Amino acid sequence: MTLLLRLFLVASVLFLGSADAGLAQLAVRGETVYTMAGPPIKDGVVLIRGGKIDRVGRASEILGQTERFRVLTAKVVTPGLIDAHTVVGFTGYLNQKQDQDQLERSEPIQPELRAIDGYNPQERLIEWVRGFGITTIHTGHAPGELISGQTMIAKTTGRTTEDAVIVPTAMIAATLGDGATKRDKKSPGTRSKAVAMLRAQLIKAREYLKKQETTTEAEDHEDPKKGKPDRNLRLEALGHVLKGEWPLMVTVHRAHNIATTLRIAKEFKIKLVLDGAAEAYLVLDKIKAAGVPVIVHPTMMRSGHGQTENASMETAAKLHAAGIPIAMQSGYESYVPKTRIVLFETAVAAANGLPFEDALAACTINAATLLGISDRVGTLELGKDADIALYDGDPFEYTTHCIGVVINGEIVSNEPR
């Protein structure tokens, strides 16, 4: 065991009364515990039973109970981090054709592609990001086609997709602007063509839904030609968007394309999540008026040309200051490295104007709220999943290590990273 582990990750058994091994529980103790549900707790403890958080408070109040504990100790304890948008589990660390399953290029519109059918829970990049304290990921089909497919939410543990998944279908992933246009006379070749194609598909889906809902069983039986339309997976998926069941997450960067996206959402009355939004700081008033959240572009993304030429490291801070809900993401890399780390992305945002606790919220409770999973993760509170990250210092300092990770009450990583 390294000196770092001996100092900061103390895995010891404290006998505080009962010697019955069946009463063994896990406690995580930190010099500072950020619950994200209230003020930080100095010398705090998170008590875990059955994979859930049972109690949070000061060590002097909790460790006096007559039970047997295994105690993990760190300088800073936080909820498990949440990556609000990634393609981990679809893109692989080998960077070869057989492990790059994040984007289907055969058609521009494919909302029927299910994320759970492509997710690889044993991809080594999942283990990699988990080692930095990331316990939950919103992942799925990548930007790059007009509608690339569905997304899902999973824990960064589990041998099968069923073990890992929290939400089988979270959103439909779309792209507008330069990222969705094609060359060599392929469609869509321009931004206006892309928007027209998207609008046409939404109209078809609306008509499909209307016919499904208005056709009676008698009409369907008497005259099949006038009855319910044949099942259409593509229109079904978009129907969930139109009914407000699944948000449409649109990766879009330039200000004028963001404005177009907001118009589309208003026209069809759909739930919208802006993704990337490199020039969001230029249209803060429009985004706020629309009440739309933003999964902020990776602050460390390669920019300086194309649609991200005006990207700013202060975007997260400006969105937050304007009162716009934000979450942080690692994003999508089309080349090595195949993934970034949302902890580092958030740290850069914190170094460029986003206050510390607001930055931490952007990859914990605020991300959980945006993704609709705040009843399970995002804070250290009674009844929540016991997902916890342990650090040997300020999580946003480059010299700090993640020295332990707990998911569903199980220790899944204990090597400094």
List average pLDDT for each run of 10 residues in the chain, which is 417 residues long. 45 36 72 98 96 95 72 97 96 85 93 97 95 98 96 97 98 94 87 96 97 72 70 97 98 97 98 97 98 91 84 96 98 77 96 98 98 98 98 97 98 93
For the chain, domain boundaries: 1-80+378-417, 81-376
Which position has the token pair 């393609």? 87
DSSP per position, 21-54:
GGG-EEEEEEEEE--SSSS-EEEEEEEEETTEEE
Residue 302: how many other CB atoms lie within 10 Å? 12
- Which pLDDT score, from 0 to 100, does residue 370 have? 98
User: What is d(CA 212, CA 146) in angstroms, rounded to the nearest whole number?
Assistant: 26
First-last CA distance in the chain: 14
**Can you tell me whether residue 367 is helix, strand or coil?**
helix
Collect all residues with Cβ–Cβ distance below 8 Å to 160 and sequence separation of at least 6. Answer: 121
Give Cα separations from 10 to 21, 28, 52, 66, 392 (angstroms): 19, 10, 21, 20, 12
Give Cα separations from 36 to 21, 45, 81, 328, 363 (angstroms): 32, 14, 11, 16, 11
User: What is d(CA 376, CA 372) in angstroms, rounded to the nearest whole number?
Assistant: 9
Cα 313 to chain center, whole Å? 20
Q: What dotted CATH number matches 1-80+378-417?
A: 2.30.40.10
- Rg of the chain over Cα atoms, rounded to whole angstroms, equals 23
Cα 148 to chain center, whole Å? 17
Amino acid at 279: E
Q: Considering the entire predicted model, what is its pTM? A: 0.92
User: What is d(CA 2, CA 264) in angstroms, rounded to the nearest whole number?
Assistant: 55
Q: Which fold has domain 81-376?
A: TIM Barrel (3.20.20)
Model pLDDT for residues 66-88, shown as the tens digit of each residue: 467 889 999 999 999 999 999 99
Model pLDDT for residues 33-46, shown as the tens digit of each residue: 999 999 999 999 99
User: What is d(CA 246, CA 392) in angstroms, rounded to the nearest whole number?
Assistant: 39
